[in-house]
Structure 1
Amino acid sequence: MLRQCPIVIDPSGRNIHGEAAQLRELGPIVKVTLPGGVPGWAVAGHEALADLLADPKRVSKDAYRHWRAWIDGEVTHAWPLSIWVSVQNMITAYGSEHTRLRRPVMTAFTARRVAALRPRIEAVAGEMLDKLAGMSGEEAVDLRAGYAHEVPTRVMFELFGIPEHSWGMLHKIINGFFDTGISVVQARQNSVDLYATMTDLVAYKRAHPADDLTSAMIAARDDENGPRLSEKELTDNLILLFTAGYETSVNLISSAVDLMLRHPAQRELVAAGLATWEDVVEETLRLEPPAANGFLRFAVEDIEIGGSVIPKGEAFIVSFASVGRDPALHGADADAFDITRPTRGDHMAFGYGVHYCLGATLARLEAAVSLAALFERFPEISAAGGPGRLPRTESFISNGLRELPVRLGPSKSA
């Protein structure tokens, strides 16, 4: 029956890995029902996904050109998740349009520019740890809110030049953006708030340009030789870059800390110099990818995989949660956390192919720096929650913790 009936994707993501394992067992591609009753497919095998995403001609993220249900009006802006396909930015573009929209921001994420951010990331991490050091080491604190959230957000605010008066609203909006269980009314209001806030940001940065990513993208939009981005493309690209950069790093840092606290033997490997914090980051990305499912892609033509076919014009998700634990690649212990695993870097947590995340290097750097600073300052840090599973974000797209209670223990001198 499971092979005949679509798997209904849980919009709240209550059991991300159980659902991913079920998809993987049923084959490389599986029929699913997406939230809101929208039919689609899921690609759950590492080999199948690598082959598929390596061929950008067959796969699109442009709903306006390649999703039959969107083009025909069967799925409309009334769908609570429509914001994920209605935006027009580099991640939803296809072919030459993707290249055009991606080019203006590529220079912001070169290896050299990201490496130059290390001192600032270290300084921000130090400032947040100083605040935590002022608390009693025996009191439980939420490390997600007080550290994993604060470091990447402040770095992103500085990178984009976002004024402090916009911080609170952006936090609220982004939380709603990744909540895939919200109502139609809530989704519409969140979309309105999102565009209003980003439009205000663009107006503010036009009046107060500086050496930041927002100003650079506005300069590309306002090029004297003619606009290289439309106003909507400018706004939508900013929405993409900020939301993706924020959520990915917060989830990654939180999950890495949680895993290290629950696996003291792995922590000892780092302390003994037998593994690095970069190893921790890669194994966390494999085991707990910050995005559980990539949403959405569309078949430009009939796509045959493993004897099944995704018909032309139909939508599919890619299960990063599944491919990261695929035993065909990672072995029988693929569900185990092992920072010395030879295949720890063989994951797709930041995507694959032409849509590989531009901010991947920055996210890795933020996580490695944050982890090293945290465990150096608080060497006796321990989990404060009970033996049960920590509450997670209510989303089948975002994969992260809602809170991370810890006891810091005594602080070493900064």
Structure 2
Amino acid sequence: MTEVHNAPHRLDPAGGCPHAANARFLAEGAVTRVVLPDDVEGAIVLGHQELKEFLSHPDVAKNARHFTALENGEIPDGWPLRTFATVQSMTTADGADHRRLRSLVSRAFTARRVEALRPRVEELAARLLDDLERAAAQSEDGTADLRRNFAMPLPMGVICELLGVDAEQGEQLHALSNRVVSTSLKPADVVAANQELLQVLAQVAAARAADPGDDLTSALIAAREEDGDRLSEPELIGTLMLMVIAGHETTLNLITNAVRALSGHPEQLDAVRSGTADWGDVVEETMRWDSPVSYFPFRYPTRDLTLDGTVIPAGTPVLAGYSGAGRDPRTHGADADVFDVTRTQVRHLSFGHGAHFCIGAPLARMEASLALEALFTRFPQLTVAVDETEIPRRGSFVGNSVPVLPVRLTAAP
């Protein structure tokens, strides 16, 4: 057994479609060495089985005190991935701290609470489809940006309602979260985006403290006031940041990627309409085939860890390669690259695995299923208006999607 032996791959901060690179990585092994921005050495676990093992391994931590380069003072303040490591929330906590923070948030994502949101999601989706149709009617070419007019405001509206955030702040939080998850910003822009996002979230917390409501922010503040040991101020703000970013960015990408996939594979849309598959199948296959997250930061081996015959040194920042694991042919078969909503036993890790499995997965699944059904019921002839190769990619190797998605709601004349 040796350390990861292939030459490291330098990840492009501008992101791009990950699938061609993932195929090359997987051909070399389930683990690949990478060079992150500012020449920080890291690794990605891309094999499905290896990633599943890694995500629940007892010798893998989330707390950045195990990040050797960070602890040694080698990571600058303006490093574009620093927030992923240092934000104080359940996503960077281990053991009892993780269980404490997760328990405070879990009440907002119970099966009963998620199901109670269904009428609100349906109502919001219907209103946004009106907006989408209006935008297309007002454009010169009859197209509209589905991402801006539908895929973004739907999950953003839901998470804002859960957190007790008004619509105007929601727009601001979306813009800031986009900058925070970018991996291509200059250091000064990274620092500015993080500071501004923290300021806005502090304003949200102050507003809810002054006027509590039936929302998660008010509940977190109440828990903090009742027992100061349960939630510190940085943990409160960090938890709000996590909820805002994870609560809408991934679902936004999921809806966008599903529409792109169905538009490019009309026979799969026919399978849903004929009853051979359902909208839940579309969601699960999209999560596998085009995961909303390419490479998610970070986990750290607390000792030298062997996966697939290679060693990841202790303290290495490791990315979870969800987009690669979703197309690993060793798990998904020779047709792993094929988008097939009728696929039996769809398995993916795009919501994570183990103790840190995404707490919002039931809500994301419900939102995306309802959104897709409402969209294609209202506009059965909807197609993406340009060739896939003409659509730009997001400036991040963390999120996996496109920044705009022009669609045509009716058949072209």
TM-score over 0.5 for the alignment?
yes
CA shift digits 1:125-175 (9 cap, x unpaired) = 011112233443970111111111111111111111102342332122011
Q: Calculate the TM-score normalised by the size of structure 2.
A: 0.95
Give the Cα separation in 1 of the matches to 2:133 and 2:16: 34
CA shift digits 1:161-198 (9 cap, x unpaired) = 10234233212201101211100000000011011111
Q: Aligned residues, how many?
A: 405
CA contact (8 A) 1:327 1:334 kept: yes
Counterpart residue type for residue 290 of structure 2: E
1:380 to partner: Cα distance = 1.6
Give the Cα separation in 2 of the matches to 1:234 and 1:280: 35
Please name the residue that 1:61 is paired with: 62
Give the Cα separation in 2 of the matches to 1:252 and 1:78: 29
Q: Does 1:234 align with 2:236?
A: yes
Alignment of 1:113-192 (within 5 A): 113-134=113-134, 135-136=136-137, 139-192=142-195
1:327–1:343 Cα change, 3 Å: farther
Please name the residue that 1:293 is paired with: 295
Please name the residue that 1:194 is paired with: 197
1:76 to partner: Cα distance = 3.5
Give the Cα separation in 2 of the matches to 1:227 and 1:164: 32
Counterpart residue type for residue 193 of structure 1: E
Q: Does 1:32 align with 2:15?
A: no
1:389 to partner: Cα distance = 4.4
Counterpart residue type for residue 132 of structure 1: L
Counterpart residue type for residue 18 of structure 2: I
1:390 to partner: Cα distance = 2.0
The unaligned stretches of length 5 or more in structure 1 are: none
Q: Does 1:407 align with 2:408?
A: yes
- Compare the two structures and name the one with the higher helix fraction: 2
CA contact (8 A) 2:322 2:349 kept: yes
CA contact (8 A) 2:173 2:200 kept: yes
Between 1:374-383 and 1:188-197, the stretch displaced more is: 374-383
The unaligned stretches of length 5 or more in structure 2 are: none
CA contact (8 A) 1:220 1:227 kept: no
Q: Give me the CA root mean square deviation.
A: 1.6
1:389–1:285 Cα change, 3 Å: farther
Give the Cα separation in 1 of the matches to 2:376 and 2:171: 29
Counterpart residue type for residue 399 of structure 2: S
Give the Cα separation in 2 of the matches to 1:378 and 1:294: 34
Q: Secondary structure at the match of 1:49?
A: helix
Please name the residue that 1:208 is paired with: 211
1:20 to partner: Cα distance = 1.5
Between 1:205-214 and 1:375-384, the stretch displaced more is: 375-384
Give the Cα separation in 1 of the matches to 2:205 and 2:101: 17
Q: Secondary structure at the match of 1:296?
A: strand
Identity of aligned residues (%): 41
1:387 to partner: Cα distance = 5.6
Counterpart residue type for residue 131 of structure 2: K
1:326 to partner: Cα distance = 0.3
Give the Cα separation in 1 of the matches to 2:119 and 2:19: 36
Give the Cα separation in 1 of the matches to 2:171 and 2:283: 28
1:54–1:86 Cα change, 3 Å: closer
